[in-house]
């Protein structure tokens, strides 16, 4: 018996994460003593804030280390409802909120309770690497909708409508987006919502980067536009990006009551509650003043502006200027090399780690993270420029 026959068939179409593969290779080289500059990270470089850590320490010291309600403790869910209302103009009752082990877990849960075998899930391309693999795990069919660099890789109503079929069940929309940094305006979302409502298309709105938006742009939540799209939308968010809490594994969603109840039942029999200590930390995080976010956003915008200025002066590479998140998606087609080859050469020859774009659906792009210190960004830009000139 071949060992593969012991595995469930649903795993056949699930590929390893290319982002983790290049990151693992970089970590191995670093452990061997090489001076690796990492511009690949999908997490902020700053530490979790002290006021968040203090709340977690207090939770441990007070013995808050037991099971909690599956969907989160009432105090946290109440604050999430208040956050949705204040920041997103979304009215969710606590029963419509499910707290999970990260925003990724929230997305997977939503897909698991909504997607039947052979259902199509529309995914604008480029896309975050895990979207399609989660759809595959749920026995659905990812249907990629190609977007254009000239439109900052944002899906248009026409592109969306042209890709809807009788099997289309759901759209995944990410704003601000990974890997492109695009941000949808309220008017753009309104046009998309009309298509979704007309076709009864459910939407997972991934808003994990909502606090990281630049140039004075404002975040808009799809589900806030009207009652019809609200009833079709699952709004996903979390603590990882804004509070540098990636390892704490704490995310949440707001959804129509029937969907939230189904996700609650799923979580009852999978992970049960999210980490009790992280939930107390989340309560502290949600109490942060707006000035906290503004300071972080300003730092990231300064880093973005520095990197964009440097990259625009380099040969054989063209950046898409991100409006949000902390990534720069760069066209490297003029190098005549594929994305993985570029990433490997940068790592092996210049000790610079970036993410190849093939895992995001674009083989002629690389993703550069500016979630790094200005000193490391300078070194990274120097090494990237050297490699491009050498080639």
Hey, what are 188's tokens? 């753009």
- Whole-structure pTM over 0.75, yes or no? yes
What's the confidence (pLDDT) of residue 4? 63
Distance (Å, whole) CA 330 – CA 153: 12
- What are φ and ψ of residue 301, in 5° steps? -65, -40
Distance (Å, whole) CA 135 – CA 130: 9
Hey, what are 291's tokens? 């000035």
Among candidates 366, 384, 356, which has minimal Cα distance to 19? 356
What does the H/E/C string look like for the chain? Answer: CCHHHHCCHHHCCCCCCHHHHHHHHHHHHHHCCCCCEECCCCCCCCCCCHHHHHHHHHHHHCCCCCCCCCCCCHHHHHHHHHHHHHHHCCCCCHHHEEEECCHHHHHHHHHHHHCCCCCEEEEEECCCHHHHHHHHHCCCEEEEEECCHHHCCCCCHHHHHHHCCCCEEEEEEECCCCCCCCCCCHHHHHHHHHHHHHCCCEEEEECCCCCCECCCCCCCCHHHCCHHHHCCEEEEEECCCCCCCHHHCCEEEECCHHHHHHHHHHHHCCCCCCCHHHHHHHHHHHCCCHHHHHHHHHHHHHHHHHHHHHHHCCCCCEEECCCECCEEEEECHHHCCCHHHHHHHHHHHHCEECEEHHHHCCCCEEEEECCCCHHHHHHHHHHHHHHHHHC
The tally of CA atoms less than 13 A away on the side-chain side of residue 179 is: 32
**What is the dotted CATH code of the domain comprising 66-286?**
3.40.640.10
What fold is seen in the domain 3-48+291-390? 3.90.1150
Distance (Å, whole) CA 119 – CA 340: 31
Omega of the bond leading into 179 within 30 degrees of 0 (cis): yes
Domains 3-48+291-390 and 66-286 share a fold: no
Distance (Å, whole) CA 347 – CA 353: 5
Among candidates 255, 273, 268, which has minimal Cα distance to 114? 255
What's the confidence (pLDDT) of residue 2? 55
Hey, what are 209's tokens? 């980067």
Residues paired with residue 172 on neighbouring β-strands, in sequence order: 204
The tally of CA atoms less than 13 A away on the side-chain side of residue 109 is: 33
Omega of the bond leading into 176 within 30 degrees of 0 (cis): yes
Inter-helix orientation angle 50-61/276-286, to 10°: 140
The pLDDT tens digits along the chain (391 residues) read 455 678 888 888 888 777 777 888 888 998 999 999 999 988 899 999 999 999 999 999 999 999 999 999 999 999 999 999 999 999 999 999 999 999 999 999 999 999 999 999 999 999 999 999 999 999 999 999 999 999 999 999 999 999 999 999 999 999 999 999 999 999 999 999 999 999 999 999 999 999 999 999 999 999 999 999 999 999 999 999 999 999 999 999 999 999 999 999 999 999 999 999 999 999 999 999 999 999 999 999 999 999 999 999 999 999 999 999 999 999 999 999 999 999 999 999 999 999 999 999 999 999 999 999 999 999 999 999 999 998 6
* Domains of the chain, residue spans: 3-48+291-390, 66-286
What's the confidence (pLDDT) of residue 1? 42
Q: How far apart are the first and last CA of the chain?
A: 48
């Amino acid at each position: 018996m071949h060992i593969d026959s012991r595995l469930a068939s649903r795993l056949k179409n699930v590929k390893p994460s290319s982002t983790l593969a290049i990151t693992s290779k970089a970590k191995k080289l670093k452990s061997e003593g090489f001076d690796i500059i990492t511009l690949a990270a999908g997490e902020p470089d700053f530490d979790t804030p002290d006021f968040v850590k203090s709340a977690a320490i207090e939770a441990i010291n007070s013995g808050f280390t037991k099971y909690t309600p599956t969907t989160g403790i009432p105090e946290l869910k109440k604050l999430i409802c208040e956050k949705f209302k204040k920041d997103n103009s979304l009215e969710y009752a606590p029963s419509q909120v499910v707290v999970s082990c990260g925003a990724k877990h929230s997305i997977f849960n939503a897909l698991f309770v909504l997607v039947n075998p052979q259902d199509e899930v529309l995914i604008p391309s480029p896309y975050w690497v895990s979207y399609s693999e989660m759809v595959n795990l749920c026995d659905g069919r990812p249907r990629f909708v190609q977007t254009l660099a000239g439109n900052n890789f944002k899906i248009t109503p026409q592109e969306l409508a042209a890709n809807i079929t009788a099997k289309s069940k759901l759209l995944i929309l990410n704003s601000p987006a990974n890997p492109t940094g695009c941000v949808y305006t309220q008017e753009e979302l309104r046009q998309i919502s009309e298509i979704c409502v007309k076709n009864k298309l459910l939407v997972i709105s991934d808003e994990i980067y909502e606090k990281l938006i630049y140039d004075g742009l404002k975040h808009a939540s799809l589900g806030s536009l009207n009652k019809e799209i609200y009833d079709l939308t699952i709004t996903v968010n979390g603590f990882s990006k804004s509070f540098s809490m990636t390892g704490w594994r704490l995310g949440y969603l707001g959804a129509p009551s029937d969907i939230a109840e189904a996700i609650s039942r799923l979580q009852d029999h999978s992970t049960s509650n999210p980490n009790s200590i992280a939930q107390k930390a989340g309560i502290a995080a949600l109490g942060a003043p707006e000035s906290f976010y503004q300071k972080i956003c300003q730092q990231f915008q300064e880093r973005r502006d520095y990197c964009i200025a440097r990259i625009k002066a380099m040969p054989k590479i063209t950046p898409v200027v991100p409006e949000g998140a902390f990534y720069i998606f760069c066209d490297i087609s003029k190098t005549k090399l594929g994305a993985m080859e570029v990433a490997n050469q940068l790592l092996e020859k210049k000790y610079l780690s970036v993410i190849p774009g093939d895992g995001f659906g674009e083989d002629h792009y690389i993703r550069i993270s500016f979630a790094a210190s200005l000193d490391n960004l300078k070194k990274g830009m120097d090494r990237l420029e050297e490699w491009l000139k050498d080639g």
